[in-house]
Structure 1
Amino acid sequence: MIKIHPYSKLPIQSVQEELDQLNYNLNKMIAADNPILYSAAEQLFIAGGKRIRPIIILNTAKFISINKIISIEQKRLAEITEIIHTASLVHDDIIDNCDTRRGINTVHNVFNNKIAVLAGDFLFAQSSWYLANLNNLNVVKTISKIITDFAEGEIKQGTKSFDNTISIDEYIEKSFYKTASLIACSCKATVLLNTNSISENNDFYLYGKHVGLAFQIIDDILDIVSTSEELGKPAGLDLKNGNLTASLIFTLNKKQKLYKLINQEFQFKDNLDEAINIIKQTNSIQKAKDLAIEHIQLAIHIIKKKQLNNKNSIDLILICYYILNRFS
């Protein structure tokens, strides 16, 4: 078993220059002639974010490069990935009726649902155009699957809303479509831009998959244990919207009262707080964290099979530690 060490910061030093350029380029890439559309799209980037997906891609690119140089295409892929991720957030916020994200008003809250949907669609279209210009059919196929997976994930989540029969396997499957697919496919595409090695493609796809699943599991735990101020968005939103996550699923067989609260769809004012308190009374949050640890261990094992004296391989492992230790 791999020992998990506490690490609270994202390792960005080795890719800081590329990350600064990425932030500059994103504003240029979302430019639109229509001022309302541009303003809506720009709103998505105001809150910033940690850019964890581009950081993973840039470190992967340096790791697999003989001369540690990131190609122009790989840099553009990191930008495309962040645009796709951001586009998915605006649609998620509409579906989840989330009024704030990272402490600022969401696009549909600033404008309206129609403008927000169009802004998200515009970003997906922009990412597709830049993706096509990479002139790599295998990469286009790999990244295009992400958008399909987003839709499938939302449908799976919607059909299981307030469904107290949901299993952990179904939760993991939905989490893959909504979160892990983006990181897995992006890692694979980064390798495809450098080599056609099937084993390398598979390794980094799996690394991204396990990192993505761990990220989502921890994110879902934070939704239960954190405050709205800490999250930058309303706490308990998953449960309120009927999105039953790992901690709750692990609690179901221990606390029958949860079934009643779920069946009532947390319609009464204190139902949500009561459900969260019930979850906290069990070891279910720790069990959910243990599930995230399993995926982190698998991701770390993939990188540790490779050259450990590589600075970027160390950073890929530190990213794993950071993801896990968002919740301590």
Structure 2
Amino acid sequence: MHVRKLVGTQHPLLNTARGFVYDSKNNLQMRGLVVLLLSKAAGPSHAASDLLAQDMVSGIYPSQRNLAEITELIHTAFLVHRGIVDLKEWTGSAGPLKDMQFGNKMAVLSGDFLLANACTGLAQLDNTKVVELISSAIGDLVQGIYYENSNNTEENGLTDGVDVASWEEQTFLSNGALLAKSCQAAMELARHDKESQRLAFKYGKHLSLGHKLNSDLQPFVKSGVVDPVSFGLSDAPVVFHRQIVGQERWRQQLQQLLAAVKSEKGVSSAVDLCCYHSNKALEAIQAFPSSEARSALENIASAVTKF
């Protein structure tokens, strides 16, 4: 009922809700799928009791299935929260201002509702280490989004930026921590040892970074004319380019940024880093027993290098 009220307001929350599951090309519920595949690939641990193994369905414990749903809920909640618009751009007398204000309220309430449900489900897993892991991932998400917003302010968005190391750190917080820690938590729920948990975390981390690099590279590797507004100044190729050419030259090239990034080493460096993270994810997952689930995870990790 409330979403219907938003129809016609052109609030970004509508586009966010529309794209939760499918973007006309790919299923976007990747995080939950990876948690399920990794759970299946790892299978039961030696420490798990026979009674616990009886509860498995298709090689996945019910608690791991719940964790996959919780991971998607948290991701969706933050997507909704990101749908909030800056009301300073709207005039006070305009009718659309009220629409945007209503949409913002819906974004906040809807995101909070999803996050509350995720926290309730998390508590029902009855595992303090998993609660600690996912809670810290939520904290990482908040910190990562804060960094993104502080780096994209009007005052410093065009000039200061971040270097490559900072970009990787911030991208892990905002895009990788949730998946990496969810993969680790899935191993903990099955009582796998610390080495398996470390490898699961490693797979989730490098897959996330590779996926983000692939996304950042799309405007630069697609054929044809690219709309300059389709990439951000904190995207990986731009960060590499800024570091390579230096601050002064960067200022001079702002008006022709897309052409400059294509002609310098920013794109090729970002592609190399994407391949690095893909290989690291593959390295981690190959430590698990051979299975269809492992093959699927290998295919997902390899896919981030396809442009």
Q: CA deviation at 1:109?
A: 6.7
Match of 2:279 among 291, 297, 318: 297
Which residue among 116, 121, 132 is the counterpart of 2:123?
132
In structure 2, give the amino acid aligned to 1:258.
W
> What is the Cα deviation at residue 64 of structure 1?
1.4
Q: What residue is the counterpart of 1:36 in the other structure?
A: 2
Contact 1:37–1:119, Cα closer than 8 Å, also in 2: no
Answering whether residue 201 of structure 2 is matched by residue 201 of structure 1, we say no
Which residue of structure 2 aligns with residue 53 of structure 1?
31
Asked if 2 retains the 8 angstrom alpha-carbon contact of 1:44 and 1:86, the reply is no
| Contact 2:85–2:100 under 8 Å retained in 1 | no
Residue 116 of structure 1: which of 93, 107, 119 is its match?
107
Give the Å deviation of 1:214: 0.8
Q: Does structure 2 conserve the Cα–Cα contact (< 8 Å) formed by 1:223 and 1:236?
A: no
**Are residues 55 and 72 of structure 1, via their aligned partners in 2, closer, same or farther at CA, if it must alter by over 3 Å?**
same
Unaligned runs of 5+ residues in structure 2 are: 7-12, 45-55, 88-98
TM-score between the two structures when normalised by the length of structure 2? 0.76
- Secondary structure of the residue aligned to 1:94 is coil
Instruction: Give 1:76's aligned residue.
Output: 66
Q: TM-score, normalised by structure 1?
A: 0.71
Q: Does 2:140 correspond to 1:159? A: no
Matched, 1:181 2:177: yes
Shift of 1:324: 2.2
1:236 deviation in Å? 3.3
Q: 1:261 to 1:254 in 2, by over 3 A?
A: closer
1:313 equivalent in structure 2: 294
Q: 1:28: which partner in 2?
A: none
Does 2:273 match 1:286? Answer: no
* In 2, Cα distance between equivalents of 1:45 and 1:94: 12
The answer for the alignment partner of 2:229 in structure 1 is 236
Contact 2:85 2:104 in 1 (8 A): no
The 3-state SS of whatever aligns with 2:83 is helix
How far 1:152 moved relative to its partner? 0.6
Q: Using the alignment, how far apart are the partners of 2:230 and 2:169 within structure 1?
A: 20
What amino acid does structure 1 have at the position aligned with 2:300? I
1:148 and 2:129 are equivalent in the alignment? no
Q: What's the counterpart of residue 64 of structure 1?
A: 42
Residue 305 (structure 1) shift: 2.8
Partner of 1:23: none
Q: Quick check: 1:88 aligned with 2:70? A: no
- Deviation of 1:75 (Å): 1.0
> Structure 2 residue aligned with 1:212, among 208, 228, 233?
208
Higher relative contact order (CA 8 A, sep 6+): 1
Flag structure 1 segments of 5+ consecutive residues without an equivalent. 1-34, 98-107, 263-270
Please give the root-mean-square deviation of Cα atoms over the aligned residues, in Å. Answer: 3.0
Contact persistence 2:16–2:83 (CA under 8 A): no
Aligned-residue sequence identity (percent) comes to: 26
Which AA in structure 1 matches 2:199?
Answer: D
Tell me, in whole angstroms, the C-alpha distance in 2 between the residues paired with 1:113 and 1:76: 29
1:302 is aligned with what amino acid?
A
Q: Larger radius of gyration, structure 1 or 2? A: 2
The answer to whether the 8 A contact 1:224-1:235 is kept is: no
